[in-house]
Structure 1
Amino acid sequence: MKDYLRKHPHVRTIRVAAADLNGQARGKRVPARFADKVVKDGTRFPFSVLNLDIWGEDIDDSPLVFEMGDQDGVLKPTERGFMPMPWLEAPTALLPIWMFRENGQPYEGDPRHALRAVVDRYKEKGLTPVCAMELEFFLIDDSGKTMQVPASPRSGKRRKAAETLSIRALDAFDTFFTDLYDACEAMDIPADTTTSETGLGQFEVNLMHCDDALRAADDAWLFKMLVKGLARRHGFAASFMAKPYADYSGSGLHTHFSVLDQKGDNIFDSGGPKGTAALRHAVAGCLNAMHDSALVFAPHFNSYERLVPDKHAPTAISWGYENRTTAIRIPAGNPAARRIEHRVAGGDVNPYLMLAAILGAALTGIEDAVEPPPPITGNAYAVDLPQIPSSWEEAIEAFEHSDVLYRFLPREIIRNLVQTKRQELYYIAELTPEERLELYLDTV
Structure 2
Amino acid sequence: MVDRNNFTFSELESWLQAQRVTEIECLVPDLTGVARGKILPRQKFTEDRGMRLPEAVVAMGVTGEFPEEGPYYDVISPNDRDMHLRADPTTARLVPWAVDPTAQIIHDCFDRDGELVPFAPRSVLRRVCGLFEAEGWSPVVAPELEFYLVARNSDPDMPLKPPVGRSGRAETSRQAYSIDAVNEFDPLFEDVYEYCEKMELNVDTLIHEVGAGQMEINFFHAAPLGLADEVFFFKRTVREAALRHDMFATFMAKPIAGEPGSAMHVHQSVVNQKTGRNLFSNTDGSPSKEFFWYIGGLQKYIPAAMALFAPYVNSYRRLARHTAAPINIQWGTDNRTVGIRSPLAEPNARRIENRVIGADANPYVALAATLACGYLGIKNQIEPTPECKGDAYLGDFQLPRSLGEALTLLREEKELAAVLGESFVSVYTEIKEIEYAEFMKVISPWEREHLLLHV
TM-score tier by shorter-chain length is over 0.9
Q: Among 65, 69, 93, which residue is 1:57 paired with? A: 65
User: Matched residues, percent identical?
Assistant: 34
Deviations 1:303-340 (A, max 9, x none): 00001111011111211111111110000122221100
Distance in 2 of aligned mates of 1:43 and 1:221 = 21
Correspondence 1:213 to 2:221: no
The 3-state SS of whatever aligns with 2:37 is strand
Matching residue within 262, 265, 283 for 2:295 = 283
The answer to whether residue 161 in structure 2 is matched with residue 148 in structure 1 is yes
Paired residues for 1:382-401 under 5 Å: 382-384=394-396, 387-401=398-412
Offset, 1:410: 0.7
Shift in alpha-carbon separation, 1:35–1:215, aligned structure 2, 3 A: same
Partner residue in 2 for 1:310: 322
CA contact (8 A) 2:91 2:229 kept: no
Aligned counterpart in structure 2 of residue 78 of structure 1, from 82, 88, 110: 88
Trace 1:1-12 onto structure 2 (pairs within 5 A): 1-9=12-20, 11-12=21-22
| Residue ranges of structure 1 left out of the alignment (5+ in a row) | 435-444
Cα distance between partner residues in 1 of 2:431 and 2:203: 32
Q: How far has the Cα of 1:407 moved from its partner?
A: 3.1
Q: Does structure 2 conserve the Cα–Cα contact (< 8 Å) formed by 1:227 and 1:238? A: yes
Does the 8 Å CA contact 1:273/1:332 hold for their aligned counterparts? no
TM-score by length of 1: 0.93
Q: Is the 8 A contact 2:144 2:217 kept in 1?
A: yes
Shift of residue 274, structure 1, vs aligned partner: 5.8
| Residue pair 2:161, 2:256 contacting (<8 A) in 1 also | no
* Letter aligned with residue 389 of structure 1: P
Residue type matched to 1:130 in 2? V
Q: Which residue of 1 aligns with 2:438?
A: 427
Distance apart, 1:369 and its partner CA: 1.5
Deviation at 1:106, TM superposition (A): 0.8
Q: Shift of residue 227 of structure 1?
A: 1.1
Alignment partner, residue 440 of structure 1? none
> Any residues of structure 2 matched to 1:37-436 within 5 Å, and which?
37-38=47-48, 41-61=49-69, 62-63=72-73, 67-143=77-153, 145-152=158-165, 154-210=166-222, 212-261=223-272, 262-270=274-282, 275-384=287-396, 387-433=398-444
Aligned 8 A contact 2:268 2:351 in 1: yes
Return the TM-score normalized by structure 2. Answer: 0.90
The 2-side partners of 1:353 and 1:146 are apart by 29
- Tell me the distance in 2 between the aligned counterparts of 1:204 and 1:373: 31
Native 8 Å contact 2:75 2:427 kept in 1: no
Task: For residue 129 of structure 2, give the secondary structure of its aligned residue in structure 1.
Answer: helix
* Matched position secondary structure for 2:420: coil
3-state SS of 1:364 partner: helix
Where structure 2 has 5 or more consecutive residues not aligned to the other structure, the ranges are 1-11, 446-455
Distance in 1 (CA, whole Å) between partners of 2:107 and 2:168 is 41
Partners of 1:170 and 1:403 in 2: CA distance: 45
User: Which amino acid counterpart does residue 400 of structure 1 have in structure 2?
Assistant: R
**Preserved CA contact (<8 Å) 1:87 1:233:** no
Distance, in Å, in 2 between the alignment partners of 1:136 and 1:356 is 19
Q: CA deviation at 1:92?
A: 2.1
Q: Does 1:22 align with 2:20?
A: no
How many pairs does the alignment contain? 428
For 1:136, what is the secondary structure of its paired residue? strand
Structure 1 stretches of 4+ with a deviation exceeding 4 A read 64-67, 271-274
Displacement after TM superposition at 1:42 (Å): 2.6
Relative to 1, partners in 2 of residues 1:109 and 1:309: Cα closer, same or farther, differing over 3 Å? same
Contact 1:46 1:73 in 2 (8 A): yes
